[in-house]
Amino acid sequence: MASGLLSVFLPLYIVAIDGANALLDIGIMSAVALLLAIPASFCWGYICDKTRRYKRLAVASKILDGLSLSETLKEENLNAFCGGLILFSLATSILFTPLPVFFSRELAIPQTLIFALYGLNSTGGVFGYFLAGQRSDRSVVKSALSRIAIFRSMVAFLLIAAIQVPTLNIILAAIILFSMGFIYALFLIYTLALSMEIMPQRRAGLFNVLIGLGGACGSFTGPFLAETFGFVYALLTSSITFLLAYVAFKMFA
């Protein structure tokens, strides 16, 4: 709860006290924070893998599916999966890091409504987590990743339309954030479950490292593009990067 509050409040606060280079300051702060979290994320994944707390679940699921773990690993395109993770995380951070400022500056949405919009985003995530908890076929989960990436690409592009239609910008923003929260929850659960099965032994923390690297790069890139070229360029870059993630996950599937 505190993290979600700060992710919205902090960018708006920095803009209020330092309007000139506020977006660059936000980008640097977010990137540094995510980079500092990477070693701890990797260590935590290593410890979990070392103690085999959840690898047994992955092995058991393969037995239930009638495949041995070694046979499954041979079928996976691990590089495409890792590339898709980095690109998806990169695109997400490019989009979401400057987004509160985008709502405030470009769409002129009051701060109270911005917090409400992010509340809708979290609500969508809750629904997504409940849905992701249902057992799905492995091939369905893998193909869903590419569909999620292309959907996020289209939704990011729709935010540009919100600028052109000021009378409907709040409604569009509400629908977009709710759907993005819902889709991201599915993505996180699906990729985490797959990573438990296909990541090499003692490399379970690699999942968090890849997410962190993409997030750190995107946290700086998004505000930099928005400050230097405008928010439209940041949104377009995010949309294109989601398309690249779609290609990577398509190769993986």
SS3 10: helix
CATH of region 2-252? 1.20.1250.20
- Listing DSSP states for 157-214 in one string gives HHHHHHHH-GGGHHHHHHHHHHHHHHHHHHHHHHHHHHHHHHSPTT-TTHHHHHHHHH
Q: What is the pLDDT along the chain (253 residues), one digit of tens a residue?
A: 555 555 665 666 666 666 556 777 778 878 888 888 878 777 766 666 666 555 444 443 443 344 344 444 444 588 899 999 999 999 999 999 888 888 888 888 888 888 888 888 889 988 988 887 665 566 677 888 999 999 999 988 888 887 777 777 888 889 999 999 999 999 998 898 888 778 776 666 788 889 999 999 999 999 999 989 999 999 999 999 999 999 999 988 7
User: What is the helix, strand, coil percentage profile of the chain, to 5?
Assistant: 85, 0, 15
Count CB-CB contacts under 10 A for residue 215.
25
Determine contact, residues 186/128, Cβ cutoff 8 Å: yes
**Residue 78 is encoded by which pair of tokens?**
């691990």
**Residue 201 is encoded by which pair of tokens?**
């032994």
Q: Which of 245, 242, 223 minimizes the C-alpha distance to 234?
A: 223
pTM: 0.82
